[in-house]
Amino acid sequence: MTLAVRLPGRWSQRSRRLAMLTLAVIALVSALARLPAWSLADLRAFDYLSTLDAPGPPADSPIIVAIDEPSLAEINAQWPWPRELHARLIEGLRRAGATAIGLDIIFAEPSNPASDAALAKALGPDVVLAGDESMIVTPQADQLLRITPLPAFTATGAVTGIASITLGGDGVFRELPRYEDGFARSLARIAGRAAVSPDGKLLQSFGPSRSYPTVSYYQALDPENMLPKDTFKDRVVIVGLSLQNAPVINSGGADAFATSYTVHTGQLVPGAEIQATIFDNLTAGAAIRQAGPPAAIGAIALAALISAVFVRRATRWETVALSLFATLLLGLLSFVLIREANVFVSPVGPTLALLFVAVGQTAFDYAEERRQRREIVRAFSQYLSPALVERLARDPSQLKLGGERRILSILFCDVRGFTTIAEALKDDPEQLTTLINRLLTPLSDIVLKHGGTIDKYIGDCLMAFWNAPLDDDEHAQHAVAAALDMLDAMKALNIELRAEAAAVGAAYYALRIGIGINTGDCVVGNMGSSQRFDYSVLGDAVNLASRLEGASKNYGVPLLIGERTAQLAAPHFAVLELDRITVKGRTSAAPVFTAVRNLPDEAKATHARFIEDKYAGHLTADDPSFDTLPQANPTLAPYYETIRAEQFAGGA
């Protein structure tokens, strides 16, 4: 016996390797996080998290006066509209009680003198006019170009607000403009609202296009008659384009941009709503601060260390679950920080750090496990079954005789009339072997697909069970599902065999199977001698499953299941009682059932009444149920014919 002693202050080889892996992952992910492409991934994560359960606009948010399709139709004038129309709008909004008015329209060029004079007269200190700023890059120099309203308009006290925004590398608007004289900041000052600094802050979107209260331009021209009373009273109003259908207006841009919410809707948000969103971000404290490099690196390091704790002792299937849970938790924490602290710490870097450590250690463990498995297989494959060798490779401590008591679902599947087929092919053993292999291969695959364990093959019979060696809380459901799939597979196989026989002019042998399933207490484990043993199952429930398979032929059904199996499978299939029988080796009668995938409730109710009449002795050979039930459930047609034959013979 070897005694393992852990010495204080000394690390095992696994711990040293894990520590080096963790440090390498922290360094690698922190370096990758500095790349421009990575920042786009962070910002896309921000898009999803910041719009998850996004809050709506504040109650006192700006109202949008939209230059939209209805307004273009109602006003029926070519764009740009005469400026005296904007003058009428400003005066009407002022009379309606608006505290500040922002026109997200650039008036940089003179128009009709009378129109310009009318607009200048209507303007005042309560109005913000949009300006624009752009960088012109040429090989000779970079030139900053600023476009502002005509001096005649600002001379009246109207304020210029730069409405320009900067889009991210993926064309999405997220970062708040930093202009001191920005459109939204200027509007906030006029409205008497305190505004936070936009430096380094990201935009909190409040929803898709038209999330803000919006009225059409033509309605705002006559608010007394076309809008509810006090619509604009004590409110900030922003006027601008808000086209829903037309991509351009007068060959100009539609003034619409992608925001974080565009990832959900695919729609652009009009510029007027963009400015309203900036306004609320600055005045309502909704703007989100993006964490700097120290915080990002700290989050990456913390996630890598947490992952190292998960895999410190071993990597198992629980490691995958914990990693997935931790990944979701990182996303949740990032979301909570956005909502509760208005801080965005990207979960992308921490998530990758966590997964890299977990996957890296899993790869190391997998390589070590593969080495150990090869040693075990090399040592035992000569005298143990492959299935048991695989189990021993996973857990060498099970190399002993013994078993455990468990509730299992056991399935027996046998070929009907195979003796006749074998007799017909007695002079062609190769064809017989090929036929049995073609039969058992799909049936075995189905058992494995549904999580079953194949116990053994007994000639043309297959035995399998569920809920061992791996736990399966739905073992009865999986056993019945496998049986139904096996019956479907037989139909497909017979079609293939018929076509092959016809192609070569050979005899066609139809294959039919009978299946019995029972659920009960069993002893499962390594059975055999001290020299050779196999993983198998014993118990009365096993015997009953075998008897049910044999009894199924007496009822003309391909599947017969026991009472406990029926109870567990009933929520998932149409389970129908057929009879109460006493099988060989038992003294008391027990109900037996069959199962189909689907059956109308009316047909199930009719069948239940049929069984009650059968037990009560009320059935007659001309009972109408014998005709209606086979039509509703053709699979049980032979069963109903069997019962009818009994009635003719006078049986019950």
Q: What is the pLDDT of residues 487-523, one digit of tens each?
A: 999 999 999 999 998 998 888 888 999 999 999 999 9
Q: Output the pLDDT for position 652.
A: 41
Mean pLDDT of the region 630-652: 79
Contact 539, 494 (CB under 8 A): no
- Say how far apart CA 528 and CA 25 lie, in whole Å: 50
Does 387 score more than 80 pLDDT? no
- Say how far apart CA 24 and CA 431 lie, in whole Å: 60
Place of tokens 């920005």: 182
Quick one: what percent of the chain has pLDDT higher than 70?
A: 88
- Say how far apart CA 250 and CA 110 lie, in whole Å: 18
Mean pLDDT of the region 139-150: 82
Contact 455, 536 (CB under 8 A): yes
Place of tokens 């078993």: 403
3-state secondary structure of 173: coil
- Say how far apart CA 457 and CA 285 lie, in whole Å: 72
C-alpha closest to that of 58 among 313, 372, 283: 283
Does 323 score more than 80 pLDDT? no
Does 7 score more than 70 pLDDT? no
- Say how far apart CA 319 and CA 69 lie, in whole Å: 57
- Say how far apart CA 295 and CA 343 lie, in whole Å: 11
Distance of CA 35 to the CA centre of its chain: 29
Contact 183, 237 (CB under 8 A): no
Does 129 score more than 50 pLDDT? yes
Q: What are 541-588's pLDDT values in tens digits?
A: 999 999 999 999 989 999 999 999 999 999 999 999 999 988 666 677
Phi/psi of residue 529, nearest 5 degrees: -105, 175
Q: What are 173-205's pLDDT values in tens digits?
A: 999 998 889 999 999 999 999 989 888 899 999
Q: For 360, what's the count of Cα atoms within 13 Å in the CB-facing half-sphere?
A: 21
C-alpha closest to that of 207 among 271, 274, 261: 261
Phi/psi of residue 129, nearest 5 degrees: -105, 140
Q: Output the pLDDT for position 543.
A: 93
Q: Output the pLDDT for position 386.
A: 58
Does this model's pTM top 0.95? Answer: no
Residue 641 is inside which H or E element, if any? helix 637-649
Mean pLDDT of the region 290-307: 87
- Mind giving me the DSSP string for 531-591? S-EEEEEESHHHHHHHHHHHHGGGGT-SEEE-HHHHHHHTTTSEEEEEEEE--TT-SS-EE
540-545 contacts: CB < 8 A, separation 24 or more? 541/408, 541/410, 542/410, 542/518, 543/585, 544/518, 544/520, 544/583, 544/586, 545/410, 545/411, 545/412, 545/516, 545/517, 545/518
Put residue 234 in one of left, alpha, beta given phi > 0 → left and psi -120 to 50 → alpha. left
Q: Output the pLDDT for position 428.
A: 82
Number of CB atoms found within 10 A of residue 574's CB: 18
Place of tokens 């194949």: 454
- Say how far apart CA 400 and CA 202 lie, in whole Å: 64
Contact 391, 535 (CB under 8 A): yes
